[in-house]
């Protein structure tokens, strides 16, 4: 720790609560700051009538940093929170959220955390370290909504079908699956993977996007406040065009549906990979445009990134399904061994020292090993006479052991397909209740009053 100054004190702030426009939340908390690192020790919150002038917000920035979210306090700017830096500052158990302390405001001032995953096939280590792990870690840090983005997957289902055909052309024994089977199986696989990896459906509202069709209505409404120019600037769309894909309109308006996903649940935090950064910026723009035109309805959500470095695939490029360089989370036995052994390495002879920092095997090993094990492995590399083959074996053992419990859970879950359906149905029911509330407010703001008969 060294001689860093230590400060303890109380702090107080007001937070405007757009999700409940009639109230604000006042927070008082104790904090301790050592060598510039602030930790919240405990505190309490009260719901208070709204309408205090925003200028009265005290140390808003601190509370935002500590909480990792900002429910439209009136302070704009800083659209992202880095989970890596703030994770250390977030006290665990009992002090994470002021609502935990008095048990009164639960659901009001806990952040809403939302994320979606596309059901696009077997999940791999890149998905795990880039997103899934942080989704699961965050399930205690707020009210989480996680969903399987099946509507989004429709925008690229044709390509999935083409991929199947390509596999079948090479491997005569392979029967290419029709689109509906691909989608249904992928949805089930993602659900199984998340549950096996530790997602707790009691803590998280876990659902299938298309089970809440209200999202498409909101997407339509949002599309009417979204400029063409905004969508035309989307990197992911431009990248796909550059790859020669014939775009459908759904691919073009993909970010609007994504904004609807996020805004329908009035989410505060959206843990995603860096590749989704622009989509989150677009969501904020769209939310801002709606709020400006029709009055504040939506909090401006923040992307949350984790600080895991890019996970290299077996060829050293970023691990990605489209590069065909993945190591699947639930691969085992020969298949796992084959994937790990195929990681490319250079031609250094066995006796020579190796540079760990330039080796993809080592980069992957680091994700699984303790700091001490990483040190030991680096020393072996540098000592020479070790060889990439041994490094790969060590990595294989790590991956195998790391996911062994999840693999066992997945097998048990597979035997009970009814359970998955139940979880998703319950998730949909809970998500839908929130969705309907938001949509009703949106409709009122728009003057879209439903006739009482419907």
| Member of 115, 186, 210, 314 binding ligand TRP (CB under 6 A) | 115
**Could you count the other beta carbons within 10 Å of the beta carbon of residue 110?**
20
Stretch of 258-266, 341-349, 358-366, 436-444 lying at the interface with ligand TRP (CB under 6 A):
258-266
Q: How far, in Å, CA of 23 to CA of 16, rounded?
A: 7
143-148 and 204-208 strand pairing:
parallel
Q: How far, in Å, CA of 247 to CA of 244, rounded?
A: 9
> Among this protein's residues, is 398 annotated catalytic?
no
Smallest distance from the beta carbon of 349 to ligand TRP, in angstroms?
A: 42
Identified catalytic residue from 240, 366, 392, 398: 240
Cβ nearer to ligand TRP, comparing 146 with 388? 146
Smallest distance from the beta carbon of 273 to ligand TRP, in angstroms?
A: 7
Closest CA to 339 of 314, 362, 315: 314
Ligand-binding annotation for 126, yes or no, is yes
> Among this protein's residues, is 334 annotated catalytic?
no
**Residue 222 zone, left/alpha/beta (φ > 0; ψ -120 to 50; rest):** alpha
Identified catalytic residue from 39, 122, 203, 318: 318
Smallest distance from the beta carbon of 260 to ligand TRP, in angstroms?
A: 9
| Member of 272, 340, 377, 423 binding ligand TRP (CB under 6 A) | 272
Does residue 262 interact with ligand TRP by CB under 6 A? yes
Does residue 160 interact with ligand TRP by CB under 6 A? no
- Contacts of residue 135, Cβ cutoff 8 Å, sequence gap at least 6: 115, 144, 146, 194, 199, 271
Whole-angstrom CA distances from 443 to 161, 214, 225, 253 are 38, 12, 14, 21
Cβ nearer to ligand TRP, comparing 159 with 444? 159
Ligand-binding annotation for 119, yes or no, is yes
Cβ nearer to ligand TRP, comparing 149 with 212? 149
| Member of 98, 116, 299, 387 binding ligand TRP (CB under 6 A) | 116
Does residue 127 interact with ligand TRP by CB under 6 A? no
Smallest distance from the beta carbon of 130 to ligand TRP, in angstroms?
A: 9
| Member of 26, 27, 66, 149 binding ligand TRP (CB under 6 A) | 149
Does residue 261 interact with ligand TRP by CB under 6 A? yes
Cβ nearer to ligand TRP, comparing 148 with 420? 148
Stretch of 18-26, 110-118, 159-167, 362-370 lying at the interface with ligand TRP (CB under 6 A):
110-118
Cβ nearer to ligand TRP, comparing 234 with 258? 258
Task: Record the tokens describing residue 311, joined without a space.
Answer: 């996970």
Does residue 276 interact with ligand TRP by CB under 6 A? yes
Smallest distance from the beta carbon of 353 to ligand TRP, in angstroms?
A: 40
Does residue 258 interact with ligand TRP by CB under 6 A? yes
Do residues 284 and 222 make contact, with C-beta atoms less than 8 angstroms apart? Answer: no
Q: Which residues are catalytic?
A: 240, 318, 321
Known binding-site residues for L-tryptophan equal 261
Contacts with ligand TRP, residue ranges (CB under 6 A): 114-116, 118, 149, 152, 258, 261-262, 270, 272, 276, 279
Known binding-site residues for ATP equal 118-120, 126-127, 273-275, 311, 318-322
Known binding-site residues equal 118-120, 126-127, 261, 273-275, 311, 318-322
């Amino acid at each position: 720790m060294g001689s860093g100054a230590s400060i303890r004190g109380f702090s107080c702030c007001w937070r405007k609560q757009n999700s409940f426009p009639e109230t604000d939340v006042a927070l008082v908390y104790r904090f301790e700051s050592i060598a510039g690192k602030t930790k919240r020790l405990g505190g309490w919150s009260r719901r208070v009538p709204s309408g205090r002038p925003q200028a009265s917000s005290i140390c808003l920035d601190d509370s935002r940093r500590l909480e990792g979210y900002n429910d439209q306090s009136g302070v704009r700017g800083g659209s992202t929170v880095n989970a890596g830096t703030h994770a250390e500052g977030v006290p665990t158990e009992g002090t994470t959220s002021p609502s935990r302390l008095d048990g009164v405001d639960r659901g009001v001032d806990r952040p809403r955390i939302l994320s979606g995953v596309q059901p696009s096939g077997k999940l791999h280590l890149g998905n795990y370290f880039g997103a899934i792990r942080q989704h699961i870690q965050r399930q205690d840090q707020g009210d989480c909504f996680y969903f399987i983005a099946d509507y989004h997957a429709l925008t690229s289902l044709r390509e999935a079908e083409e991929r199947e055909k390509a596999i079948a052309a090479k491997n005569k024994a392979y029967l290419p699956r029709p689109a509906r089977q691909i989608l249904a199986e992928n949805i089930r696989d993602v659900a199984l993977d998340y549950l096996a990896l530790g997602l707790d459906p009691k803590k998280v509202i876990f659902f299938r996007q298309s089970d809440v069709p209200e999202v498409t209505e909101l997407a339509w409404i949002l599309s009417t406040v979204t400029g063409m120019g905004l969508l035309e600037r989307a990197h992911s769309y431009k990248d796909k065009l550059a790859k020669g894909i014939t775009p459908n309109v759904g691919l073009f308006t993909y970010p609007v549906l994504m904004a609807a996903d996020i805004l329908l649940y009035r989410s505060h935090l959206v843990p995603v990979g860096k590749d989704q950064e622009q989509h989150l910026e677009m969501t904020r723009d769209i939310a801002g445009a709606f709020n400006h035109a029709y009055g504040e309805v939506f909090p401006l959500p923040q992307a949350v990134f984790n600080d895991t470095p890019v996970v290299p695939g077996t060829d050293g490029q970023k691990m990605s399904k489209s590069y065909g360089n993945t190591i699947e989370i639930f691969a085992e036995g020969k298949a796992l061994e084959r994937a790990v052994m195929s990681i490319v390495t250079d031609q250094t002879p066995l006796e020579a020292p190796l540079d760990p920092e330039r080796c993809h095997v080592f980069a992957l090993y680091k994700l699984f090993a303790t700091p001490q094990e990483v040190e030991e492995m680096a020393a072996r590399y540098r000592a020479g006479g070790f060889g990439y083959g041994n490094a790969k074996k060590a990595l294989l053992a790590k991956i195998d052991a790391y996911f062994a419990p999840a693999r066992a859970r997945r097998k048990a879950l597979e035997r009970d397909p009814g359970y998955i359906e139940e979880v998703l149905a319950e998730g949909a029911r809970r998500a839908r209740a929130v969705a309907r509330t938001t949509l009703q407010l949106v409709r009122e703001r728009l003057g879209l009053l439903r006739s009482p008969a419907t």
